[in-house]
Amino acid sequence: MSTPEKHTFQAEIQQLLEIVIHSLYTDKEIFVRELVSNAADAMEKLRFIQSSGEKIQDESLPLKISLTTDDQAHTVTFSDTGLGMTKEELVQNLGTIARSGSKAFLQQMVQQKEKSLELIGQFGVGFYSTFMAAEKVVVSTRSWKTGEQGWIWTSTGTGSFEIEPAEGLERGTKIVAHLKADDHDFSNAHRIETILKRYSSFVSFPLELNGKAVNTVQAIWTRSKSEVKEEEYQEFYQFISHESDTPHYRLHFSADAPLNINSLLFVPKSNIEKLGFTRLESGVHLYCKKVLIQSEAKGLFPEWLRFLKGVVDSEDLPLNISRETMQDSALMQKLNKVLTGRILKMLDEESKSNPEQYAHFYQEFGGCLKEGTANDFLHREPLSKLLRFESSLTEKGKTIGLTDYAARMPESQKEIYYLSAPNRESAENSPYYEVFKAKNIEVLFLFDPRDEFVMENLRQFDSKSIKSCEKSDLSLDSQASGLTDEQALSLTDWMKTFLSTEISNIQSSRRLINSPAVVVDEDPYTSTSMRRMMKAMQRDNPTAMPTEKYRLEINPSHPLIQKLSQQKELQPEIAEKVARQLLDTAKITAGMSEDPRILIQRMHELMEVALSK
Ligand code: ADP
Ligand code: MG
């Protein structure tokens, strides 16, 4: 038998090994992923050669990856029946690096060390990660080429490797990792199984651990839609989402341009964020050719799509990139753009083809869409079409979108109107709604406090401005007879004498029918609800409040106002109480509820007067 031939590693490899061997990197387990993915690659290549009809060594040997652990000898072994390596290939592949991207990565690695280790596999140097956990690696291999003999490659990762011929090998490659004292846990079958489940569940060849098949799930996202069965989608969803039910929506799509993408995404049935315990984290994992690159990948989708589950596989992942910059990389942005566009398109189609199912989705995830409409300028327009509201023309509990609203606006109507209210009943009875009801103009009813915030951010839809009913200057075409203009003026002047410290203006209204009075915000840029919010935030610092500018509008045709006008001279004391009460109740209707104690006391006094008549 000849003595082993000694070879030195290429300088860059030596540098790499130096870092790998002395690294304190905690995710050493990735070496398992790398060796399994190399084995899968080797078999993929063999399959390709087979299909070209060439003559192949051990032709009938089935394609399979087998791992064995030996916790006595402290080894873990990776065998495959792939294409194997000739002597020259061994020297070339496991001693040098050819790819330029890999060299650049190595240079970066010298500076970044630990940070770069997790990416080691993406740079065509994954094999060497084995030396993170192994003090010696033995590779036995035999090429697919008939007439080639087998070879054994051995190295401790320090400067050189040895090669010697080997008898009796079958086609393929076997790699034995002799584990370092600190890393004996990798010879524990359970540990390896956990790692396989995490990283290699989608390997498309049979995978065995100590003779037992490891359950793999097919990477169905790379198959065409027509080939995937409903049960397979179901099984896959449960696997990837850790959910036990079915998804609400599914999007399976592939693209080649501008990017290679194979993706399978799901919208779950329910939103756990609604329970208020947690904030969802992205549940979409990034793969490159079926091998996990990053689980729960950040930056693949905008924040408001954090409820999605699934996988995105792209063969276009670049070489010289670290995980820290991955999130901001141009590629991630491109992926994000394409993927988000597809999701928006799907939601739009679903909302039209099956509104009931969409309503269910909206109930769960509408909050996320609102968040996106308010914050994500890039996707605001398509998002705004996905919003849903009840309106004065819908049945209770039924909703419409802005598109429908705009489509049925009469020619004469120029603006889109909404009204914030706690529920449908109070919206329909709101003084702000009266003029709209009289004129038969549709009003969107906003019951979720976030809706108003969204509308204020949106401001426009389909180049029509969106306006709160409180802010509209609509007036009734004709008003029931009531006070004359002079009487009304005399009444408002009188009211100003004692109310001017509380309200900036008082005037006669042309928008009221059933309500005696209403408070209107005079500032065109702030709504009453926004003021309410600011007030709540600045409770401890009242001086920081913006100057309040409200006017009180009174309804000259309302019997109460007419009586007030008559009685202001006859019973000035009671009339003043009534006027003050009118202002306070109008403020309550506007949602600006003040300290109720004064109001209640005054109410009691007025009740007493009423009873003594
Ligand atoms: P990469 O897989 O990105 O090329 P690696 O460092 O993981 O980089 O592997 C280097 C090379 O070694 C591979 O390109 C391949 O040619 C060869 N190789 C590694 N493992 C195997 C294997 N199990 N069977 C055949 N060739 C292998
Ligand atoms: Mg590799």
Is the pLDDT higher at 166 or at 323?
166
Domain end residue (candidates: 183, 213, 243): 213
CA angle 44, 48, 53 (to 5 degrees): 145
In the chain, the number of structural domains is 4
d(CA 22, CA 18): 6
Give the HSE-up count for residue 434: Cα atoms under 13 Å, Cβ half-sphere.
18
Nearest residue by C-alpha to atom 8 in ligand 1: 124
d(CA 388, CA 376): 18
Nearest residue by C-alpha to atom 6 in ligand 1: 125
pLDDT at 540: 58
Q: Is residue 20 part of a domain?
A: yes
From ligand 2's centre to the CA of 500, what distance in Å?
Answer: 80
Backbone angles phi, psi at 270, to 5 degrees: -130, 160
The yes-or-no verdict on residue 318 having pLDDT over 60 is no
Mean pLDDT throughout 585-610? 87
Burial pattern 456-471, b for ≥16 Cβ within 10 A else e, equals: bebeebeeeebbbbbb
Nearest residue by C-alpha to atom 3 in ligand 1: 124
Nearest residue by C-alpha to atom 13 in ligand 1: 93
Domain containing residue 320: CATH number: 3.30.230.80
504 shares a domain with 426: no
- Around ligand 1, the residues with Cβ closer than 6 Å are 34, 38-39, 41-42, 80, 82-85, 93-94, 124-127, 173
pLDDT at 344: 98
Quick one: which atom of ligand 1 is closest to the CA of 37?
2
Domain containing residue 600: CATH number: 1.20.120.790
605 shares a domain with 498: yes
From ligand 1's centre to the CA of 41, what distance in Å?
Answer: 8
Domain containing residue 71: CATH number: 3.30.565.10
The yes-or-no verdict on residue 320 having pLDDT over 70 is no
Backbone angles phi, psi at 370, to 5 degrees: -65, -45
Mean pLDDT throughout 297-318? 89
Nearest residue by C-alpha to atom 10 in ligand 1: 93
Mean pLDDT throughout 191-215? 88
Tell me the pLDDT band of 326, cut-offs 50, 70 and 90: low
70 shares a domain with 184: yes
Chain mean pLDDT for the chain? 88
* Strand residue runs (E) in 180-272: 207-209, 212-213, 249-255, 261-267
Is the pLDDT higher at 97 or at 92?
92
The yes-or-no verdict on residue 245 having pLDDT over 90 is no
pLDDT at 173: 98
pLDDT at 591: 75
Mutate to test the pocket of ligand 1, among 9, 93, 132, 290 (most ligand atoms within 8 A of CB): 93
Query: Which of 34-48, 62-76, 223-237, 583-597 is the most confident on average?
Result: 62-76
Q: Is residue 383 part of a domain?
A: no
Domain end residue (candidates: 213, 236, 259): 213
50 shares a domain with 188: yes
Ligand closest to 43 (CA) is: 1
Convert the pLDDT of each residue in 558-589 to its tens digit.
999 999 999 999 999 999 999 999 999 998 88
Q: Are 606 and 574 in contact (CB under 8 A)?
A: yes
Q: Is residue 497 part of a domain?
A: yes
320 shares a domain with 287: yes
Q: Is residue 36 part of a domain?
A: yes
pLDDT at 531: 63
Mutate to test the pocket of ligand 1, among 13, 41, 103 (most ligand atoms within 8 A of CB): 41
Ligand closest to 42 (CA) is: 1
Strand, helix or coil for residue 444: strand
Q: Are 443 and 417 in contact (CB under 8 A)?
A: yes
The yes-or-no verdict on residue 380 having pLDDT over 60 is yes
Nearest residue by C-alpha to atom 17 in ligand 1: 93
Domain end residue (candidates: 341, 359, 377): 359
183 shares a domain with 224: no
Q: Is residue 373 part of a domain?
A: no
Quick one: which atom of ligand 1 is closest to the CA of 99?
4
Convert the pLDDT of each residue in 60-88 to its tens digit.
999 999 999 999 999 999 999 999 999 99
Mean pLDDT throughout 579-605? 87
Domain membership of residue 463 as a residue range: 389-471
- Nearest of 258, 249, 250, 239 to residue 314 by alpha carbon: 258
Tell me the pLDDT band of 247, cut-offs 50, 70 and 90: very high
d(CA 386, CA 373): 9
Task: Give the length of the chain.
Answer: 613
448 shares a domain with 555: no
Q: Is residue 224 part of a domain?
A: yes
pLDDT at 319: 38
Angle between the N-to-C axes of helices 485-499 and 572-589, in degrees from 0 to 180, rounded to the nearest 10: 90
Mean pLDDT throughout 44-57? 86
The yes-or-no verdict on residue 609 having pLDDT over 50 is yes
Convert the pLDDT of each residue in 437-463 to its tens digit.
999 999 999 999 899 989 989 999 999
pLDDT at 397: 93
463 shares a domain with 505: no
490 shares a domain with 457: no
pLDDT at 280: 82
Ligand closest to 125 (CA) is: 1
Nearest residue by C-alpha to atom 12 in ligand 1: 93
Quick one: which atom of ligand 1 is closest to the CA of 124?
3
Secondary structure letter of residue 389 according to DSSP: B
Tell me the pLDDT band of 282, cut-offs 50, 70 and 90: confident
Mean pLDDT throughout 243-252? 90
343 shares a domain with 229: yes
Q: Is residue 476 part of a domain?
A: no
pLDDT at 325: 56
- For the entire predicted model, the pTM comes to 0.69
Q: Is residue 478 part of a domain?
A: no
308 shares a domain with 241: yes
From ligand 1's centre to the CA of 87, what distance in Å?
Answer: 14
From ligand 2's centre to the CA of 42, what distance in Å?
Answer: 10
- Residue 350 one-letter amino acid: E
209 shares a domain with 114: yes
